[in-house]
Amino acid sequence: MALQLLMKKRIAIFASGSGSNAQKLMELYKRNPEVEIALVLTNNPDAYVLQRADNFEIPTHIFDRNEFYRTDNIIDLLKNLDIDLIVLAGFLWLIPKKLVSEYPGRIVNIHPAILPKFGGKGMYGDHVHNAVMAAGETEGGITIHYVNENYDEGEYIYQGKYKIEKGDSLEMIKFKGQQLEHQHYPRIIDGLIKKIKK
């Protein structure tokens, strides 16, 4: 039993807001003998993801810009918890180069558009959906990708699309995108974590 605990693969989730994708992962790994969500981290003390983590009895850590960018505290915390994979679920800050280099190919993000369109600094949430609508796109989608030191530029892992119908509202487009996210993000993350060797 002790060996099994030692061999458990561990995920850390970074989120800045509601954390609905984080919740899907918490549900997936709630009683999984091989994988656990070991920590939820946020830069927003009011983020609803903290409540979600509390509901699943998952430890949380709130940090500010100084701790994230000017200290090694976060890296030390992740190392101490033996984190195997970092999952970004609506996390809005750029990941520091040092953290990227400590976890090469082990940080994954989901973006609410078909990259490379509608990516980059400031392109998140409603900003993305409004830009997609303003451009008159007939398709929206999601991109799951590895994280490098630039916003939304890491290697793509999966892209999924949905149709934008004439007359679709912002809420309708958000709903379609979120359906895709909830369907595919847990599946992709599960595939990635299973490939990691302890």
What DSSP line would sit under the chain, residue for residue? -HHHHHH-EEEEEE-SS--HHHHHHHHHTTT-SSEEEEEEEES-TT-THHHHHHHTT--EEE--HHHHHH-SHHHHHHHHTT--EEEESS--SPPPHHHHHHSTT-EEEEESS-TTTT-STT--HHHHHHHHHHTT-SEEEEEEEE--SSTT-SPEEEEEEEE--TT--HHHHHHHHHHHHHHHHHHHHHHHHHH---
Q: Is 111 a catalytic residue?
A: yes
| CATH 3.10.105.10 is held by the domain 2-195 | no
Give pLDDT tens digits for 115-165.
999 999 999 999 999 999 999 999 999 999 999 999 999 999 999 999 999
Residue 168 has pLDDT above 70, yes or no: yes
The pLDDT tens digits for 81-91 are 999 999 999 99
95 has pLDDT over 60: yes
Report the pLDDT value the prediction gives residue 131, as an integer from 0 to 100: 96
Which of 111, 129, 145, 184 is flagged as catalytic? 111
